Amino acid sequence: MRIKTFVLALVATLICGAELSAQNNNITPAPVRVYGGTCSDSGCMPAMPFDFSQLSTLCIKGVKGADMERIAAAVKAAGLDLKLVKRPSVKSCVNIYINPDSMSFEEGYAIVTSERCVDITARSAAGAFYALQTVRQLVESGEWLTGAIVDYPRFEYRGVLIDISRHFRTVDFLKRQIDMMARLKMNRLHLHLTDAAGWRLQIDSYPRLTSFAAWRKPHDWKGWWNGDRKYVDEGTPGASGGYLTKAEARELVAYAADRYITIIPEIEMPGHSDEVLAAYPELKCSHKPEYQGDLCIGKEATFEMMQAILDEVIEIFPSEYIHIGGDEAGKGDWKLCEDCQRRMLQEGLESVDELQSYMIHRMEEYLNSKGRQIIGWDEILEGGLAPNATVMSWRGEEGGHIAAQAGHKVVMSPHGYCYIDAPQDAPYSQPESIGGYLPLEKVYSYEPVPESMPEEVGKYILGVQANLWAEFIVEDSHYEHMLWPRAIAVAEIGWSEPENRDYTMFRERAVKIVDRMIEEGYTPFDLKNEIGNRPESKEDVEHLARGKKVTYIEPSFYYAPKYAAAYDATLTDGKRGTWTYADERWQGFLGRGGVDVIIDMDEVTTIHSISADFMQICGPGVFMPCLVEIAVSEDGENYTKIADIEHEVIIDELPSFKSFGWEGEIKARYIRYKAHRSKYTGFLFVDEIVVK
């Protein structure tokens, strides 16, 4: 752990009480230290319930103007209705002292609660604001004790990405999420403003971005994506979409700033730009007129446009960082485009990766010249990272680690932990989604700085971010369901020291927060009703075929290399799959056949049941078999069929899991299990053939 010095004379003199477990209270994210009881010249007192209803006045020292108003508003939001006074008092008063010399952490704070008053010290207005979020939680819990709390964040960047391209969301919706983020001491809202599905920010110099590229006919992304992927003019009957006007975006920026949250706008380039090219086709690569998603890097007009857009963006968003995307460009069109090829020749670029890197470098130079910094997805490493760029690591952790080693700042949002568009509970109980399984516990288990990382590398990791992509999220209520409570886990990863993090205790606090959110009209996932992981997946399953040899009958029935799991051992290794086929426990079969295997039990054995589970998730093309045949043999040559199980495969939005098996009594050494794929093209996934 990084050593942090914390100088706070006030707390030092008042604290002598015992340290309470940081978890032993109602504060989320878990604070650094909580002490019970206080001391004064006349002796020490143990922790006692604090009666906050006797508080009557508020004194704020060390800030003026907007910060003063923000802090006064946060006191009120904490449930304390106090009269603002000029002088601190030792009786019935909340005294807030903001003093840059009081401690070494920009966002840190201390709260000392004696019998009669509350003294809050912070280095910055943001720190005082966070102290008041803690106070709010103490008030709400009804369990505020006398003592002291000393607290500061582990990471400076504690973020959430909200995607308003795939489905547009209103300012009011965004404000509601900002409110919740602030209560959890999060401080960055990354707004994904542009993508193929729609451009969502007014840009005066390129009006077709919002008069055309912000609108489509199918309201839901899935209908649009699987349909014609076209845009329509604003005002067309039946058009769906929208965008933030500049006034709205400014209003949002101010609202967030009042809660010490910085909004980082993302303007995607050069990939994920289908909507830009639909509105301004002259920026397509020159070799073909039809559908393209990558901006042409050969044309100067592309740079003129992006710079003009960024000029307007930085006028609205004062954030140090401007996110320029950089992910998932197809790059294929650049190989065929004469403008791109000319650019590569002129600039001595040897690959299309270097061509993308050329663009990102130019954008960085441009934004740096305006006093801003770029942040981009980890693909910006390919072809050479721009000198001052910050990397957002999403494809895993490696990109972030490489960037940090090279001395670049990094925000970690690896999809395995931070992509909260995956279902958070048994997939059949959850709305349709992109697939996978990412429960609260898995999110919470994320550690942004591995223990093995040297301190001089770890210091480049600025923090962590939850990303909520919205392809499958049409309704606001669904969006909140996906966001909360998993974003609470990310808030705690970003704020709390590892030694103060404990999932069992966190979950108890998260359940209470969720209950309160529901009372307040939010629609989070109701954590107390969590089903949890697939029952048998938690422990290995003992059965007669465990560890027995499995032979795959012919190559066309072989498993796909990407979903090999434990290779030939998978189907009898005793490991059941979880709710996701990507867990290296499910084996995936893609070929024209299906599954066709023989298990050798080593000797003739009395068998009472044979079964295997399959899953169906139609979105990514995972289907049940239409027929399962089971046959047995004593000699490995003459087989007797014992089961013929037909199944009608029905396309459904919700994932399902189903067993296909036989029960009875029979003696056999060899078991042949054959599952036929249905007429639907896709995978069969099976995790274990259980023999009892």
Lay out the site mask for ligand ACM across 372-391 (x = CB under 6 A, - = otherwise). -----x--------------
Of 120 and 285, nearer to Zn ion (C-beta) is 285
Question: Under rule CB under 5 A, how many of the chain's residues touch Zn ion?
Answer: 6
Query: Prior bond to 655 cis, omega within 30?
Result: no
**Minimum CB–partner distance for residue 437 and ligand ACM (Å):** 18
Determine which one of 251, 328, 515, 526 is catalytic.
328
Nearer to ligand ACM among residue 327 and residue 568 (C-beta):
327
614 burial level (CB within 10 Å; 0-12, 13-18, 19+): buried
CA-based nearest residue to 564, from 546, 547, 550, 548 = 550
Minimum distance, C-beta of residue 431 to ligand ACM, in the bound complex (Å):
20
The interface partner of residue 527, options being ligand ACM, Zn ion, none and the CB cut-off 5 to 8 Å by kind, is none
Smallest distance from the beta carbon of 210 to Zn ion, in angstroms? Answer: 25
For residue 400, the minimal CB distance to ligand ACM (Å) is 13
How far is CA 406 from its chain centroid? Answer: 25
- Least CB distance from residue 347 to Zn ion, whole Å? 13
Binding at 337: pick from Zn ion, ligand ACM, none (beta carbon under 5-8 Å per type): Zn ion
At residue 563, φ and ψ (nearest 5 deg) are: -120, 45
Which of the choices ligand ACM, Zn ion, none does residue 328 contact, using the CB cut-off of 5 to 8 A by kind?
ligand ACM
Nearest distance from C-beta of residue 419 to ligand ACM, angstroms: 7
Q: Which residue, 377 or 685, is less far from ligand ACM as judged by CB?
A: 377
User: Which residue's entry shows tokens 């909200």?
Assistant: 162
Beta strands in 15-152 (DSSP E): 19-20, 33-36, 38-40, 43-45, 57-61, 83-84, 93-98, 109-113, 118-122, 147-151
272 is catalytic: yes
Q: Which does 389 bind (CB under 5 to 8 A by kind): ligand ACM, Zn ion, none?
A: none
636: left (phi over 0), alpha (psi -120 to 50) or beta: left
Alpha-carbon radius of gyration of the chain: 29
Taking the complex as a whole, the smallest distance from the CB of residue 337 to Zn ion amounts, in Å, to: 3
Binder of residue 296, out of Zn ion, ligand ACM, none (CB less than 5 to 8 A by kind): Zn ion
Quick one: which of 201, 169, 178, 320 has its CA closest to 255?
178
* Residue bearing tokens 């087989």: 639
Residues 647-676 as x/- pattern, contact with ligand ACM by CB under 6 A? ------------------------------
Identify the three-state secondary structure at position 68.
helix
Give which of Zn ion, ligand ACM, none residue 471 binds (C-beta under 5 to 8 Å, depending on kind): none
Could you tell me the smallest distance in angstroms from the CB atom of residue 661 to Zn ion? 56
Residue closer to Zn ion, measured from CB, 213 or 296: 296
End-to-end CA distance of the chain: 50
CA angle 168, 170, 176 (to 5 degrees): 125
327 binds, among ligand ACM, Zn ion, none (CB under 5 to 8 A by kind): ligand ACM
> 421 or 613: whose CB is closer to ligand ACM?
421
User: CA-based diameter of the chain, in Å?
Assistant: 96
Task: Tell me the two tokens of residue 149.
Answer: 């709390």
Could you say which of 140, 258, 327, 536 contacts ligand ACM (CB under 6 A)?
Answer: 327
Which listed residue (312, 328, 447, 634) binds ligand ACM by CB under 6 A?
328
Name the residue with the smallest CB distance to ligand ACM. Answer: 327
Q: Which amino acid is at 656?
A: S
Which one, 340 or 671, has the nearer CB to Zn ion? 340
Choose between 272 and 548: whose C-beta lies nearer to ligand ACM.
272
Query: Pick from Zn ion, ligand ACM, none: which does 377 bind, CB < 5 to 8 A by kind?
Result: ligand ACM
Candidates 17, 31, 271, 298: give the one binding Zn ion (CB under 5 A). 298
Residue 594: contacted member of Zn ion, ligand ACM, none (CB under 5 to 8 Å, by partner type) = none
How far apart are CB 299 and ligand ACM at their closest, in Å? 24
Minimum distance of Zn ion from residue 360's CB (angstroms): 16
Q: Which amino acid belongs to residue 291? A: Y
Q: How far is CA 627 from CA 219, 619, 630, in A?
A: 38, 21, 10
Two structure tokens written together for 171: 């300012």
- Shortest distance, CB of residue 379 to ligand ACM, whole angstroms? 8
Task: Please choose which of ligand ACM, Zn ion, none residue 224 contacts, taking the beta carbon within 5 to 8 angstroms, the exact cut-off set by kind.
Answer: none
505 touches 23 (CB < 8 A): yes
User: For ligand ACM, which is the closer residue by CB, 221 or 377?
Assistant: 377
Instruction: State the nearest-atom distance from the C-beta of 314 to ligand ACM, in Å.
Output: 22
Choosing among ligand ACM, Zn ion, none, which partner's interface includes residue 536 (Cβ < 5 to 8 Å by kind)? Answer: none
**x-or-dash string of contact with Zn ion, 328-357, rule CB under 5 A:** ---------x-xx-----------------
Which residue, among 364, 290, 292, 298, has the nearest Cα to 325 in the 3D structure? 364
- C-alpha to C-alpha distance for 487 and 649, rounded to whole angstroms: 36
Asked whether 467 and 420 are in contact (CB, 8 A), the reply is yes
Task: Find residue 612's DSSP bridge partners.
Answer: 660, 689
Check if the beta carbon of residue 585 is closer than 8 Å to that of residue 565.
yes
Helix (H) or strand (E) holding 257: helix 246-257
Under 8 Å between Cβ of 494 and 158: yes
Exactly one of 167, 190, 192, 272 is catalytic; name it: 272
- Exposed/middle/buried for residue 83 (C-beta within 10 Å: 0-12, 13-18, 19+): exposed
Residue 327, SS3 per DSSP: coil
Site string for Zn ion, 258-287 (x = CB under 5 A): ---------------------------x--
User: Which residue in 119, 151, 195, 333 is the catalytic one?
Assistant: 195
With CB under 6 A as the contact rule, the residue among 199, 317, 394, 589 that binds ligand ACM is: 394
Q: How far is CA 379 from CA 270, 276, 353, 384, 393, in A?
A: 11, 20, 9, 10, 9
Spatial separation of the C-alpha atoms in residues 266 and 322, rounded to whole Å: 6
Per CB under 5 A, 296 contacts Zn ion? yes
Positive or negative torsion for Cα 189, 195, 200, 201? positive
Dihedral, CA atoms, 179, 185, 187, 189, nearest 10 degrees?
A: -40
Cα 523 from chain centre: 18
**Which of 413, 578 has the CB closer to ligand ACM?**
413
Considering the complex, state which of residue 401 and residue 548 has its C-beta at the smaller distance from ligand ACM: 401
Query: Hey, what are 77's tokens?
Result: 């939001």
Residues 545-604 that bind ligand ACM (CB under 6 A): none
**How many residues belong to the site for ligand ACM (CB under 6 A)?**
4
Q: Which does 339 bind (CB under 5 to 8 A by kind): ligand ACM, Zn ion, none?
A: Zn ion
Q: Which two tokens stand for residue 623?
A: 């289907």
Q: Under the rule (CB under 6 A), what is the footprint of ligand ACM?
A: 327-328, 377, 394
Residues recognised as catalytic: 195, 272, 328
Q: Under the rule (CB under 5 A), what is the footprint of Zn ion?
A: 285, 296, 298, 337, 339-340
